[in-house]
A and B are shown apart, each in its own frame.
Chain A
Amino acid sequence: MSRFVFRYFSEVFRPRYEVGQFIRQCYVIGYLSLPLIGITGFIMGLVLTMQLRPSLMSYGVEAQLPVMVSLAIVREIGPVITALIFAGKISSGIGAELGSMKVTEQIDAMEVSGTNPFKYLVVTRVLATTLMLPVLTILSDAISMYGSYLGVNIKGHTSLQLYFIQVFQTLHFGDILPATIKTVFFGFAIGMIGCYKGYNSSKGTEGVGRSANAAVVVSSLLIFIIDLITVQVTDLLGLN
């Protein structure tokens, strides 16, 4: 595994660059995940708001609802839930795709066709997940907040403008930046694990299924471990 990661870094900056393939992967991995990420983000914001309202009401701080919800979403729930869903969709997909390419010798066929399959398949996918997950998370956060705004408005009246003014008065850079950096690592881990499991798939169709499954399990676990580490690091750096 460490050799795989090392190989990634030694090849990512070296030509030839597979630009066309990279853009295609950004489209497949990023753009085609938008509906899923959007829907889950929306529901997350809405539900979270509805769930938090009774507790906040009992303390008499119902007015803080938008702020509480957006803090929770931006700092923790948005990145982690988005990453988990992304892992479920993308990591398994990459694991299965590369796994079946491996066992049907398509990877060997690329190699004899004058193509570095590691660059063509692995580097482009890992770059795409690393870049796309932060973007998807930011979009998901925004949609979540809209969901939360609707949740607030079920039993009360705030204009969308007022809602966002309230939110952005509290939310500052120190909330957004560490959370976004975190998603870069999440995205990298998800792509890397998917590719590693697929690329090293054992023979037979059974091996492909195992690769896809292991990719989701390992990358989901890694997301929480990275989450734990980054929270400690940002704490130490005083970014909170």
Chain B
Amino acid sequence: MGQSQTAADKVITIEKLTKSFGTHQVLSGFDLELSRGESIVVLGRSGSGKSVLIKCLIGLHMPDSGSVNVLGNNMLALDQAELDKVRARVGFLFQGNALYDSMTVRENLEFPMRRHMSGVTPADADKRVRETLAHVGLEDTIDMMPAELSGGMQKRIALARTLILHPEIILYDEPTTGLDPITAREISSLMNHTKQTYNTSSIIISHDMKCVEQTADNVAVLVDGRCHALAPYQELARSSDNKVRQFFD
């Protein structure tokens, strides 16, 4: 998919994005660009609007102003059918996994397939489900319910559900928050493995510095609703700016 495009190809462009809830201004002129194959981590404190930011990228929140361009589509001007087409190419890993707890693992993975793709045969679907589960290393959970799985396993299943449509971009909302350090490191490795296997670009929200170091090509620091700094991890780690330092100390 898309191999013909140049290296400078931007898959997401965010310009002057603002969003407020009532009188509470969450984002106030956020800018960011994501190139194909790149992983950007967005660092920010709790409640700084990180989730709001990535939800604006796939139409789960409507920005007040600014522009959002995803895979060449102006996200603010799409009708429902066009929006669904873009959403099929962008995976979203929710912070709490958001697995459907009334469905088995298999049904969870089949859900986006049945919805976004027409004419998938049961055999194809089964093959794809097993392939994706193998990628996250959990083939034998296929008939289990999400509640029977540990936190780390749920995260892997949620990632598998995100991957089932072979998205070009993945948005990770705090993928390691709430996991123990060892599991968190496994998830970070799985994210890197996913990037290589599926050729994805990603925006990762995190404040787990181990995960940031492991997964980021570039780190964006979200402060006061703006992108305060953007640089590779090592460079930021040497920064003397207090607003950046607070994440490293």
Binding site for B on A (CB under 8 A): 100, 104-106, 108-116
Taken together as a complex, chains A and B put the C-alpha atoms of A110 and B95 apart, in Å, by 15
- B123–chain A nearest beta-carbon distance, Å: 20
Contact: A105 with B116, CB < 8 Å? no
Please report which residues of chain B, range 66-117, place their CB below 8 angstroms from some CB of chain A when the two chains form the complex.
80, 84, 87-88, 90, 92, 94-101, 111-112, 115-116
Contact: B115 with A109, CB < 8 Å? no
Contact: B98 with A106, CB < 8 Å? yes
CB-CB under 8 A from B84, the residues of chain A are 114
Contact: A115 with B115, CB < 8 Å? yes
Contact: B116 with A113, CB < 8 Å? yes
Contact for B112 among A100, A114, A116, CB less than 8 A: A114
Interface flag for B55 (CB, 8 Å): yes
Residues A109 and B94 in contact in the complex (CB < 8 Å), given A114-B115, A114-B116, A115-B115? yes
- B104–chain A nearest beta-carbon distance, Å: 15
A-B CB pair tally, cutoff 8 Å: 43
Contact for A105 among B80, B95, B112, CB less than 8 A: B95
Taken together as a complex, chains A and B put the C-alpha atoms of A123 and B96 apart, in Å, by 26
Contact: A112 with B96, CB < 8 Å? no
CB-CB under 8 A from A104, the residues of chain B are 96-98, 101
Interface flag for B58 (CB, 8 Å): yes
Interface flag for B60 (CB, 8 Å): yes
CB-CB under 8 A from A100, the residues of chain B are 101
Residues A108 and B60 in contact in the complex (CB < 8 Å), given A114-B84, A114-B87, A114-B88? yes
Contact for B87 among A105, A106, A112, A116, CB less than 8 A: A112
Contact: A105 with B111, CB < 8 Å? no
Contact: A108 with B115, CB < 8 Å? no
- A114–chain B nearest beta-carbon distance, Å: 4
CB-CB under 8 A from A109, the residues of chain B are 92, 94, 98, 100
CB-CB under 8 A from B87, the residues of chain A are 112-114
Contact: A113 with B111, CB < 8 Å? yes
- A58–chain B nearest beta-carbon distance, Å: 55
Q: Using an 8 Å CB-CB cutoff, how does the interface string of B39-72 with A read, 1 for contact, 0 for none?
A: 0000000000000000100101000000000000
Give the 3 A-B CB pairs with smallest separation, nearest first. Answer: A109-B98, A113-B112, A114-B115
Q: Apart from A100-B101, A105-B95, A106-B101, what are 10 other A-B pairs with CB-CB below 8 Å?
A: A104-B96, A104-B97, A104-B101, A105-B96, A106-B99, A106-B100, A108-B98, A113-B111, A114-B112, A115-B111
Of the A-B pairs whose beta carbons lie under 8 Å apart in the complex, a sample of 5, sorted by A's number, is: A104-B96, A105-B98, A112-B58, A114-B84, A116-B80
Quick one: closest B residue to A111, CB to CB?
B60
Quick one: closest B residue to A103, CB to CB?
B96
CB-CB under 8 A from B98, the residues of chain A are 104-106, 108-109
Taken together as a complex, chains A and B put the C-alpha atoms of A116 and B80 apart, in Å, by 10
Quick one: closest B residue to A16, CB to CB?
B115
CB-CB under 8 A from B96, the residues of chain A are 104-105
- B160–chain A nearest beta-carbon distance, Å: 13
- B231–chain A nearest beta-carbon distance, Å: 30
Contact: B94 with A113, CB < 8 Å? no
Contact for A108 among B80, B90, B94, CB less than 8 A: B94
- B128–chain A nearest beta-carbon distance, Å: 15
Taken together as a complex, chains A and B put the C-alpha atoms of A139 and B98 apart, in Å, by 39
Taken together as a complex, chains A and B put the C-alpha atoms of A105 and B161 apart, in Å, by 14
Taken together as a complex, chains A and B put the C-alpha atoms of A116 and B101 apart, in Å, by 18
Quick one: closest B residue to A100, CB to CB?
B101
Quick one: closest A residue to B90, CB to CB?
A112
- A197–chain B nearest beta-carbon distance, Å: 19
CB-CB under 8 A from A115, the residues of chain B are 111, 115
Taken together as a complex, chains A and B put the C-alpha atoms of A131 and B115 apart, in Å, by 27
- A32–chain B nearest beta-carbon distance, Å: 14
- B111–chain A nearest beta-carbon distance, Å: 6
CB-CB under 8 A from B88, the residues of chain A are 114
CB-CB under 8 A from A112, the residues of chain B are 58, 60, 87, 90, 92
- B201–chain A nearest beta-carbon distance, Å: 17
- B81–chain A nearest beta-carbon distance, Å: 10
Taken together as a complex, chains A and B put the C-alpha atoms of A109 and B112 apart, in Å, by 9
Quick one: closest B residue to A107, CB to CB?
B98
Q: Using an 8 Å CB-CB cutoff, how does the interface string of B149-175 with A read, 1 for contact, 0 for none?
A: 000000000000000000000000000
